[in-house]
Homo-oligomer: A and B are copies of this chain.
Amino acid sequence: MSSSKVTIKDVAKRAGVSIATVSRYLNNPSSIKKENRTKVDEAVKELHYHPLIFAQRLAGGKLNTFGLIIPGYEGIFYSFYALEIIRGIAANLDKEGIDLHLHIFWNKDNFNTSLVEGVIFADIIGNEKQLKRLIREQVPLVVINRKVTDHEVSFVTIDNFKGAYEATEFLAHHRHKKIAHLAGDLRVQCAQERLDGYKAALEKNKIEIRKEYIKITNFSRRETRERLEELFSLKEAPTALFCCSDEVAQEVLNFAEERKLSIPKDLSVVGFDDNHLLAYGNLLLTTVRQPLIKMASTSIQILKDIVEKKIPPQKVVLGPELVIRDTVGFL
């Protein structure tokens, strides 16, 4: 309620015009006389007037608010991905003058759609029911990081398969045969796709797919560490590792340091994300770049177009990019 009881009436009175003029000033300043514009402007400032968004909305204006729904699931929430998406969405909405309603999804399907004009899902793990409901209610929607095939919904993802394929093949081209994969939670679509890409690249390069080389994590450093212990107590330890994220890869680097494995001499590593927070020091990670900020801005653009121009659902798959740096070497 912000206690500011200043209404459009007060401003009108103060400025000596009608409330309609004030309203016009608010929505289309150039439609009123310069003189009045000045007067209203002063009144607004003196009274610290801010229009009540809900009243504007009710009267037929715009709500001007987008919702961002992000999974509470730890593997996603505590990730660079989530952070960048939140930041990217917030920054872009800020630029557009649109407000952001954040909803972290745990379990309850309690997101009230009447608060927002449109919704962006940052992944939908554990959230399929809510997605379905919003589709049913015809809320303008964009899903990030997931190709939604069972509904007609817009999405913005990258080609995870391709990224993983190229990363793995890059390793293979460096003559590695024992290439392991630290995968993420396979319920997260990108993790599954990356695993698929990894497998496909091995097959293509006539490298046997070994079950014991495929290790699932929940994207965390902790589980990475555990899987790594398993991996390196194998009779035949891998010589190369493709990781589902840079954080996971970073943990591999730490692990290697401890085990006195020289990188890339003894072990080659490829990450995924191109996480700038981790790009420092004299050993720079070779990784697959995922344009998160671009994904965020694209989503918003699409959502805006859906809301404003009623365009049909858009399906955008951006290209990942292999960034070659220091952590891959020839066997």
Contacts and interface: CB of A to CB of B under 8 A. Distances in A.
Contacts of A51: 114
Interface stretch (A87-95, A230-238, A297-305): A87-95
Main secondary structure of the interface of A (DSSP, over half): mixed
A139 interface: yes
A30 interface: no
Contacts of A62: 1
Contacts of A54: 53-55, 57-58, 63, 114-115
A269 to B, nearest CB: 15
With most chain B CB atoms within 10 A of its CB, the pick from A62, A86, A110, A136 is: A86
Contacts of A55: 54, 58
Given A78-B277, A137-B48, A103 B104 contact: no
Interface stretch (A151-159, A176-184, A219-227, A322-330): A219-227
A2 B280 contact: no
A32 interface: no
Contacts of A110: 94, 97
Contact of A3 (B137, B277, B280): B137
A2 B53 contact: no
24 contacts: A1-B62, A1-B63, A2-B117, A2-B139, A3-B137, A4-B138, A50-B114, A53-B115, A54-B63, A54-B114, A68-B102, A72-B90, A77-B87, A78-B83, A78-B277, A87-B104, A94-B104, A94-B106, A94-B110, A101-B102, A221-B280, A225-B280, A254-B254, A257-B258
Interface of A: 1-4, 48, 50-55, 57-58, 61-63, 65, 68, 72, 77-78, 83, 86-87, 90-91, 94, 97, 99-104, 106, 108, 110, 112-117, 136-140, 220-222, 225, 254, 257-258, 277-281, 307
